Structure 1
Amino acid sequence: MEGEASWETYPLSHFVVETADCKPVSGTNNNAGTDVVGAGAVSLDNILPDDILERIVSFLPVASIFRASSVCKRWHDIVHSRRFLWAIKLPHKPWYFMFTCNDTAAGYAYDPILRKWYNLELPCIERSNWFTSSSCGLVCFMDNDVRSRIFVCNPITRDWRRIPEPPGVEFPDYSTLAISVDRESHQYSVAVAKSKQAPADFLQWDFSIHIFESETGLWSTAVMEVLFGWRGGDESVICHGVLYCLIHCTNVYGNADLRHGLVMYDLSARSSHTSVMRTLIPVPCSLTCARLMNVKDRLVMVGGIAKYDRQDIIKGISIWELHDKEWREIAKMPHRYFQGFGELDDVFASSGSDDLIFIQSYGATALLVFDMNQKQWKWSAKCPVTKRFPLQLFSGFLLRTQA
């Protein structure tokens, strides 16, 4: 079901080891028997300039790149230089990080190219239920308690920083987190959407969007309005400069098919006072849950299709792409793969980037990968973790390996 049963796991320390000075090969040798070999040996360190060597090393898989840093001091400096980390523009496939413990942030990262799992320790994050969002090698974490502690980090180099607390209402009922990195300027934007029920009317929800810019180090409040019959959720993504948020219908007397909707906010139109409800796009069908993702600047949604008479029961999973405010179905999970998850809950985890979409059940370690280019479904290699007790949960998120 989940691919081959064998695997190889490596801790992150397997890739980062002590470096040694690499001395050029001498053209002379005191041993007469090796004069010919010594005279013809040439060190690449003496020939290749840094930019060419960076280009060669960047073709390696991510795990091998950081092992290459142990070759010599020069390679170590190149691999860990800021210029090299931002210069990796080759098509490295994204990894998927799977939490394997409910109370901690322990887990494994899956490389779809080598089909191997790596024991990876994440910085900053304390529990698996924290909010996560990733872009161009950076991952943003937000705690799930107060929802004000936000960190931005590179999980491979383990560099991180804590950004100021976002403005807006304290202790919101629902929150979303999204990050977008500009590869040209190396700056990033973090968007937090908050939703809190009005005390006097359960159909009214305060909804706000707050934007943090790394260039200025400041937050700004972009949206503050009251939603009637709708509330914010916990799903959002930034795609092509636009923040998309999934909202949920709270009007029990409304159309049952409109359980979810999509609203958007253009991050470049900071002075606009247009209500986000004017941008509302309904979902294509009744869904048990939906996950939003940026796949090469295309907005993609993975949704659980609900039964018509029992909308809390999932009967299938489909993938849609948004085209001019209309959803187009690009794939539907074959029934044999849907059954392969076993007893699938009405909600599940899903992330995607670079033409790969990962789908995971919260109740098991089974991980399904869909290739949007090849239109192919495939189980990952089996995760080296087994379920130890019935209530053990597994979640995960996309881990972009490009810095």
Structure 2
Amino acid sequence: MWEHLSLDLLAHVFSFLPPDAVARAMAACKHWFDCARSRLPPSRQPPWLVALPARAASGRPSCYAHDPALNRWHVLPLDLFPCPLRLVAPVGSSLLCKLAASSDLRLVLLNPFTRQFRNLPDLTMPRRNPAVGIVVRGVDASSSFSVIVAGGASGSCYEPTVEMYDTGPGGWSLVGPMPVEFAVRLTVWTPNESVHALDGAMYWMTSARAYSVMGFDLGRRAWREVKAPMADRLEWAALVRRPSGKLGLVGGDGDGQGAVWELIEEDKWVAVGRVPAELGRRFWGRSKSAATRCVGGEQAVYLFRDLGSEMLVWRESSSSQIKKNKEGEETWEWRLVQGRCCMPNIPIKAALLHPTLSRSSFPASL
């Protein structure tokens, strides 16, 4: 019966399987192999944590992926690429990376699970260390997406302009000017893993004390600054997207306390979650929380320091452990996840994505 199922129906069944199970299914027969390569829809599994080294590391370059369903780590070799890559942001089921060997920004779209990659065209002008953001239209990056690049250094000056790559036209174009002081702050103080697109606007976190959020309205081409909660006390902070569709901020102070806030009005934040004291003491121990990094999305938030240490995860309770708050709403819970065993404690940059084994994970224009 299974060999006579239509590709669309079979692909729907495959979408409920984790990638390692899909990989085993692909070995069953040619019919299943062709289906998984060409028709696989977005996964219904929780997103994976995917990490790349944040700086040069000894040994073979690799990508590290954590399957939250099985609590299992996978090592994906990146020897297909001639030079080291640094993670910028997730794009659908792929990773947007930059070439570590290039002083000017040069971007690559990578699917580490299928070992596919595509080089994006060069920017309209050379830029060193600009702020980068992604806007995905449709279900995932196989539909279409835009890359927004703001600021950066050009020669001995800061570049006060914004440019955009769109998979429709397939090239870069200048969007318009930006305030010089914003260009300086985005170039010097912006970690690229902390940027989100919501309701037609891009938001970057600037890490200069005190922390603040820089917003760029794509429609009106207007910039604004949003003050961060506890801005003068935060030692680390990052932006996340909340299940409500609102902008979230995760941060902590030097005493090892962490919290999650949600932006409910133009400049008003409300706390929606705090790290339990016992878990916080175990996670941070005696070390300062300033080394903490964060990546998150609508389904989970990860706090981490390096690849070999424990990670603190905030996600929805499983169906068998649903808890209710006083208002009767479902709550999220914090838990610890083991780091990558038998690995040196190397600094990493991470992203959350739904991995796919489909060969059609890139737009046709790339």
Report if TM-score (shorter chain) is over 0.5.
yes
Deviation of 1:248 after TM superposition, in Å, equals 5.2
Distance across 1 between alignment mates of 2:54 and 2:235: 25
Deviation of 1:107 after TM superposition, in Å, equals 4.0
Using structure 1 for the length normalisation, give the TM-score.
Answer: 0.71
Say whether residues 1:118 and 2:62 are aligned partners. Answer: no
Match of 1:378 in 2: 335
Classify 1:98/1:109 alpha carbon distance in 2 versus 1 (closer, same or farther; 3 Å).
Answer: same
Deviation of 1:236 after TM superposition, in Å, equals 2.0
Say whether residues 1:180 and 2:140 are aligned partners. Answer: no
8 Å CA contact 1:248, 1:259 repeated in 2: yes
Deviation of 1:68 after TM superposition, in Å, equals 0.7
Matching residue within 293, 296, 304 for 2:240:
293
8 Å CA contact 2:309, 2:338 repeated in 1: no
Match of 1:72 in 2: 29
Deviation of 1:111 after TM superposition, in Å, equals 0.7
Say whether residues 1:340 and 2:282 are aligned partners. Answer: yes
Distance across 2 between alignment mates of 1:221 and 1:314: 44
**Structure 1 residue runs without a partner (length 5+):** 1-42, 250-257, 306-312
RMSD over aligned Cα atoms: 3.0
Matching residue within 251, 254, 263 for 1:303:
251
Match of 2:265 in 1: 324
Match of 2:312 in 1: 368
Deviation of 1:182 after TM superposition, in Å, equals 2.0
Deviation of 1:394 after TM superposition, in Å, equals 4.1
1:81-230 pair list within 5 angstroms: 81=38, 84-85=39-40, 87-88=41-42, 90-99=43-52, 102-104=55-57, 105-122=61-78, 124=81, 126-127=83-84, 130-144=86-100, 145-168=102-125, 170-171=127-128, 174-183=129-138, 186-196=143-153, 206-228=159-181
8 Å CA contact 1:99, 1:395 repeated in 2: yes
8 Å CA contact 1:211, 1:219 repeated in 2: yes
Distance across 1 between alignment mates of 2:125 and 2:99: 16
Matching residue within 313, 331, 347 for 1:393:
347
**Partner of 2:14: helix, strand, or coil?**
helix
Say whether residues 1:45 and 2:3 are aligned partners. Answer: yes
Distance across 1 between alignment mates of 2:201 and 2:237: 18
Match of 1:11 in 2: none
Using structure 2 for the length normalisation, give the TM-score.
Answer: 0.78
Deviation of 1:183 after TM superposition, in Å, equals 2.5
Deviation of 1:198 after TM superposition, in Å, equals 11
Distance across 2 between alignment mates of 1:241 and 1:304: 28
Match of 1:280 in 2: 225
**Deviation by residue 1:36-65 (Cα, 9 ceiling, x = unmatched):** xxxxxxx4313x222222211221112211
Match of 2:327 in 1: none
Say whether residues 1:349 and 2:293 are aligned partners. Answer: yes
Classify 1:347/1:381 alpha carbon distance in 2 versus 1 (closer, same or farther; 3 Å).
Answer: closer
Distance across 1 between alignment mates of 2:106 and 2:348: 23
Distance across 2 between alignment mates of 1:378 and 1:183: 32
Classify 1:115/1:66 alpha carbon distance in 2 versus 1 (closer, same or farther; 3 Å).
Answer: same
Distance across 1 between alignment mates of 2:34 and 2:162: 40
User: What count of residue pairs does the alignment treat as equivalent?
Assistant: 325
Distance across 1 between alignment mates of 2:293 and 2:122: 27
Give the aligned residue type for 1:283: A
**Partner of 1:64: helix, strand, or coil?**
helix
**Deviation by residue 1:205-237 (Cα, 9 ceiling, x = unmatched):** 654332110111111222423344871122422
Give the aligned residue type for 2:227: P
Classify 1:108/1:77 alpha carbon distance in 2 versus 1 (closer, same or farther; 3 Å).
Answer: same
Deviation of 1:78 after TM superposition, in Å, equals 0.2
**Structure 2 residue runs without a partner (length 5+):** 317-329, 362-366
**Worse-matched range after superposition: 112-121 or 68-77:** 112-121
Indicate the percent of aligned positions where both proteins have the same amino acid.
Answer: 21
Classify 1:124/1:243 alpha carbon distance in 2 versus 1 (closer, same or farther; 3 Å).
Answer: farther
Deviation of 1:324 after TM superposition, in Å, equals 2.6
Deviation of 1:240 after TM superposition, in Å, equals 3.8
Deviation of 1:299 after TM superposition, in Å, equals 2.0
Deviation of 1:370 after TM superposition, in Å, equals 0.5
**Deviation by residue 1:3-58 (Cα, 9 ceiling, x = unmatched):** xxxxxxxxxxxxxxxxxxxxxxxxxxxxxxxxxxxxxxxx4313x22222221122
